[in-house]
A and B are shown apart, each in its own frame.
Chain A
Amino acid sequence: MSKDNQILEEFTSKEYEHGWSVNFEADEAPIGLNEEIIKWISAKKEEPQWLLEWRLKAFKTWQNMTEPNWANVTYPKIDLQSLRYYSAPKQNNKPKSLDEVDPELLQIYERLGINLNEQKKLQGIAVDAVLDSVSVATTFKGTLSKLGIIFCSFSEAVKEHPELVKKYLGSVVPMTDNYYAALNSAVFSDGSFCYIPKGVRCPMELSTYFRINAANTGQFERTLIVAEDDSYVSYLEGCTAPQRDENQLHAAVVEIYASKNAEVKYSTVQNWFPGDKEGKGGIYNFVTKRGICAGDNSKISWTQVETGSAVTWKYPSCILKGDNSIGEFYSVAVTNNYQQADTGTKMIHIGKNTKSRIVSKGISAGKSQNSYRGQVQVMKRADNARNFSQCDSLLMGDKCGAHTFPYIDINNSTAKVEHEATTSKIGEDQLFYCNQRGISTEDAVALIVNGYAKEVLNQLPMEFAVEAQKLLALTLEGSVG
C-alpha cells in the first residue's frame, strides 16, 4: 500500500504548469463596479447605444439578485467591488493582420503551445485568442469567410454584424438567468462570435483560447454560436491563468443556437490555475453554458475536461425544443488538493422524440470535493423522450469527497429515463489482476484511470484529445508512470 500512497503523494504535489505571467502595459478600467464603469467599458469598445442599454438593464437586474448558495462548494465571499472589470494589452493601433500583433502577445500564446501563426497551419484550427478582457487575434478568418462563416471576436461582431448579435444575444441565456450570468451581461468585455450559414459544414475546428494575465481582474467573456439550418460546427475552448496568491473570478456565458438539422459540438479543456497545494489562490470558475436545439433534428453536444479552477460551478445545458433533437453531455472532472467542483448538466426535453445522453466521470484526489449535479426534465408534451445518464466517481485518497445530486422530473408517461451512478476507488482486485500479468501498480493505476475516462476523451476532436490526454497524464498518469 505504501507505493499507492507514494503515487498519491506525487500526484497531489504536482505543480501548475502554466503559472507564469508576463508584464506588459495594459489598458485598464478603474477598480470597482458601478454604472460608470459599464459606460466606460461600453465607450471603450465603441459600442452602439442598444448594447449599452442592454448592459445597464442587466446591471439593474443583477443589483436585485443575491449570490446563489445552493452549490456544494465553500469559498470566502467575493468582493466584486475590488475587482477590475476591464484590462486589455495596450496596442497602439488595431492590428489588421497577425503580422501587426505585438510579438510579445504572440509569445504568450507560443509559450502556451497555441499556434496563432497561420503560416504554420499544421494544426488546421482557427483560433480566437482572448487575453484578459480582449480578443488578441483570430486566425484563418479569410478561409472561413469564403464559406460565409463568421468567426471573430465579440466586439468585432457587434460592429460588423449588429443584426445577428442583437437577434441572438441573450436568447438562450437571458440576462435575468442567474447572478453570474446577469453580472456577465453587464460587464462582459469580449469573447467569440461564430455564425455558420445555412447548409455549411465548417471545414475546420474553431477554437477560443482564454488566458487571464493581469492580477485582480475578473474575466467575463461571452461566446455566441449560431448554427443555421443544416450546418455543422465543432468548437473548442481552452483556458489557463497565471499562478497568483489571490483568487480570481471568471464568469463567462456561452450561448449556442442550433436551427433545423444543425449540429454543434462544443468541447472544453479547462485548465485554469487551481490554486496551490494549500488551496491558496486559484480561479473561481462560475460559468453559464447553455444551448438550445431550436429546430427539428438538431443536435448539441458538450464535452468537457475539467482539471483546473479552485472552485468550479458549471452546468452546460441543452434545451431540446425541436422535435427529434439530441443533447449530449460528456464530462471528465478531476479535482485535486483543495479544489472544489460542482458541475453537471441540465437536459430539458420539450420537443417530441428528443433524446439526451449524459456521461459524467469524476475523479477526486487530495482534499478535494467533486459533485455531479444534474437535471433531466421531461415536459408534458415531450412524447417519447429518452434519456440515459451515467455518473461515476473515482476516489483517490481518503480525504476527498464525491457527491451526486441528480434531479429527474418526469411529466410524460411515454418518457424512458435511466440514471445510474457508482462511486468507488480503484479495485484492489483490478490492480491485483494487472500485477499478476506483470503490470506494475503505477502502470495499472494509469491504465485504469485512462480507461475510466476514455468514454469521454473519445468524444473530443483529435487535436484536443491529445491535449486532454496530456493534461490527464500530467495530473494523474505522469506521477504514476
Chain B
Amino acid sequence: MSTLTKENLFEGFLESSFAGFENIRKEGKVCFTKQGLPTLKSEEYKFTSIAKKLEQSLTSITGAKPFEVSSEEVKAAIPTGFDGSVLVFANGHLQNHLCLEVEKLNFSSLNEKSDLAIGSIAKAEKDPFAALNQASFEGGVYISIPKKEVVEKPILLLSFIKSNEGDVISPRVWIEAGDFAEVTFITHTINNSDKPYFVNKVVEIKGGLNSQIRYYRLQNEGKNAIEVSNIETNLLQDSRFTSVTISLSGEMVRNNLSLNLLGSNSEGNMYGIYLLNGKTHVDNHTNVDHTIPHAESNELYKGILADQSRGVFNGKIFVRQDAQKTNAFQQNNNILLSEDAIVNTKPQLEIWADDVKCSHGCTTGQLDEEALFYLQARGIDKLQAKGLLLYAFAGEVLEHIQNDSFREYCINLVQNRLGSNF
C-alpha cells in the first residue's frame, strides 16, 4: 500500500479507467490538475482542510463498487410516514430493481445518457472537487420532469453506503424540471459501517420557466464520513427553488450550494440547520448569483454547536450590474454550547447594481440564562428547558419543509437530538 500525501492523493485514482463521457472526464481532469486540492491558504477552503483530513483518514483511494441491498433494508430505511417514489443507490450506483413507485417517473442511470451536457451547470473550473467528480464520477442518476407535470408525491433518493477502507464514492445527479413542472426531492443516506469513506457528490439542477423545485437534504452521515457536495441550480424566469439542509453528523462535511438566477422573477431559498457534537465539522458555502433584474433570494442558516465541533458558514450574495430591483436576504445564527466549539462565519455581499435591497446578519451567542431560569422556576428541569429553548431557536428552519410527513419526521429527529421531545 502506497502512502498518500496531500499532493498525490488522487493521482493514481484518476489514472484508473472510468466508463463513458471521455471528453467530459478529460476536461474535468485538466481542471482538477490545474486547481489542485485546496489548502488552508485558499480562501474558499480556509477553515476546512479536506485534503488533510483525507490524508489522515484514508489509506488508499479506490472507487467504491455497488453492493447487494435487500428490499427489507430499503423498507426499514424509508422515513416513517413517507409516501412517494423511492430511488435506491448503493455506493452511489442506481439499483433499478429496488426502486419503488417509479412507474411514471422518467429516470435512468447517468451512463445511459451520453449526450448530457455534464459540467455545464456545475462548472469544473469553479471548484476543485467538482472538477474531481467530473473526471471520475461513477453511478448517479438522470431525472427529468416533463413540461407541465406536477409530481405531487415526493421523490426519495435513498443512498446506502458500505465502505471498504479507502472507498471513494463519486455520484453525479442531473435533475431537469420542464416549464411549469413541480417536484420535491428528499435525500437520505444510510451508512452501514464506521470505516472512513469519502463522498464527492455533484448535483446539477435545471429549472424551467415557472417550475418549482424543492430539495430537502438530511445529512446523517457516518461518524467517519468525509463528504463534499456541490449542488448547483440554474433557474429560469418565474421559477422557484427551495433547499433545506439538515446536517446532523459526519466527520467533515462541506456543502457547496450555488444558485444562478437567470430569469426575472425567479426565487431562490436556501435554508439550513446544523446540530453538531463530537468533533463534527460542517462547512456550508452558499453562493447566489443574481444576473437579472427582479429576482429574489432568501437564506437562513442556524447552527447549534456542542463539544469540539466546528461550524463554518460562508454565504455569498453576488448582484451583477444588470440585476436591478434585486431583493436578497441572508441570515446566519449560531449558538455555542461548549467552550471548545468554534464558529467561523463570513456573510459576504458583492453588489454591483444600485437599485437593490440586500441585507445580511449573523449572530453568535449562547442560551439566554434568564429564559432558562424562567422555565426552571416553573418546574421544567434544566435539560428539558434547554432542549425547548434550543428547539425554539432552530425549529424555524424546519418550517420551510412543505412536505408534512417529512417535516414531522425531521422535527422528531431534531427534537430527540435536542432533548426537547417529551
Contact = CB atoms under 8 A, between A and B. Distances in A.
A44 B362 CA distance: 52
B349 A403 contact: yes
B379 interface: no
Contacts of B365: 415-417
A418 B364 CA distance: 6
Nearest to B322: A398
Interface bracket on A: 20 to 34
B360 A421 contact: yes
A396 interface: yes
B357 A424 contact: yes
A370 to B, nearest CB: 10
A473 interface: no
A70 B46 CA distance: 13
Nearest to A408: B345
Given A401-B350, A403-B349, A423-B349, A408 B358 contact: no
Chain B binding surface SS class: strand
B364 A421 contact: no
Contacts of A424: 356-358
A66 interface: no
Nearest to A381: B339
Interface string A384-409: 00000000010111111111111111
A410 interface: yes
Interface string A411-428: 111111111111111000
B353 A411 contact: no
B103 to A, nearest CB: 49
Given A398-B354, A424-B356, A419 B344 contact: no
A412 B305 CA distance: 11
A402 B351 CA distance: 5
Given A406-B347, A408-B343, A413-B341, A400 B364 contact: no
Contact of A408 (B338, B346, B353): B346
A413 B337 CA distance: 6
A420 B342 contact: no
Contacts of B354: 395-398, 400, 425
B349 A402 contact: yes
B349 A408 contact: no
Interface string B320-336: 01001000000000101
Interface residues of B, number: 34
B336 A413 contact: yes
B268 to A, nearest CB: 18
Contact of B348 (A400, A405, A417): A405
Contacts of B13: none
B363 interface: yes
Contacts of A419: 347, 360-363
B366 interface: yes
Given A410-B334, A423-B349, A418 B361 contact: yes
Nearest to B310: A411
Given A408-B362, A410-B336, A412-B339, A403 B346 contact: no
B68 interface: no
A401 B362 contact: no
Given A398-B324, A401-B351, A410-B334, A70 B43 contact: yes
Contact of A416 (B355, B362, B364): B364
A420 B349 contact: no
Given A70-B43, A393-B351, A413-B336, A420 B360 contact: yes
A413 B345 contact: no
A420 B330 CA distance: 10
Given A393-B351, A406-B346, A418-B361, A423 B339 contact: no
B358 A423 contact: yes
A346 to B, nearest CB: 14
Contacts of A408: 343-346, 362, 364
A412 B365 CA distance: 9
B294 to A, nearest CB: 15
B108 interface: no
Contacts of B339: 380, 412-413
Contact of B336 (A393, A415, A423): A415
Given A404-B349, A415-B336, A425 B359 contact: no
B352 interface: yes
A401 B352 contact: yes
Nearest to A427: B357
A395 B321 contact: no
Contact of A420 (B346, B361, B366): B361
Given A404-B360, A421-B361, A413 B366 contact: yes
A406 B147 CA distance: 42
Contacts of A401: 350-352
Contacts of A420: 359-362
B353 to A, nearest CB: 6
A160 to B, nearest CB: 45
Contacts of A410: 334, 336, 342-345, 364
A411 B342 contact: yes
Contacts of B43: 70
Contact of A398 (B338, B355, B360, B362): B355
Interface in A226-279: none
B364 A423 contact: no
A7 B159 CA distance: 60
B359 A423 contact: yes
B363 A421 contact: no
A262 to B, nearest CB: 29
Nearest to A428: B355
Contacts of B360: 404, 419-421
A399 B324 CA distance: 11
A398 B321 contact: yes
A398 B344 CA distance: 33
A398 B341 CA distance: 42
A411 B341 CA distance: 6
Contacts of A417: 362-365
Contacts of B351: 393, 395, 401-403, 423
A411 B355 CA distance: 38
Contacts of B353: 395, 398
B321 A407 contact: no
A106 to B, nearest CB: 44
Nearest to B43: A70
Given A401-B350, A404-B348, A413-B341, A422 B364 contact: no
A457 B350 CA distance: 26
A285 to B, nearest CB: 22
Nearest to B336: A413
B361 A414 contact: no
B347 A418 contact: no
A187 B225 CA distance: 53
A424 B345 CA distance: 23
A69 to B, nearest CB: 11
29 contacts: A395-B354, A395-B355, A398-B324, A399-B321, A400-B352, A400-B354, A401-B352, A403-B351, A404-B360, A406-B348, A408-B343, A408-B345, A408-B346, A409-B344, A410-B364, A413-B341, A415-B364, A416-B364, A418-B361, A418-B362, A419-B360, A420-B359, A421-B347, A421-B361, A422-B357, A422-B358, A423-B349, A423-B356, A423-B357
Interface of A: 70, 380, 393, 395-425
Given A393-B349, A413-B339, 20 more contacts: A70-B43, A395-B353, A396-B354, A397-B354, A399-B321, A406-B348, A409-B343, A409-B344, A410-B336, A410-B343, A417-B364, A418-B361, A419-B347, A419-B360, A419-B361, A420-B359, A422-B359, A423-B357, A423-B359, A425-B354
In the A-B complex, the 9 residue pairs with the closest CB atoms: A413-B336, A395-B354, A420-B361, A404-B349, A422-B359, A423-B358, A417-B364, A401-B352, A416-B365
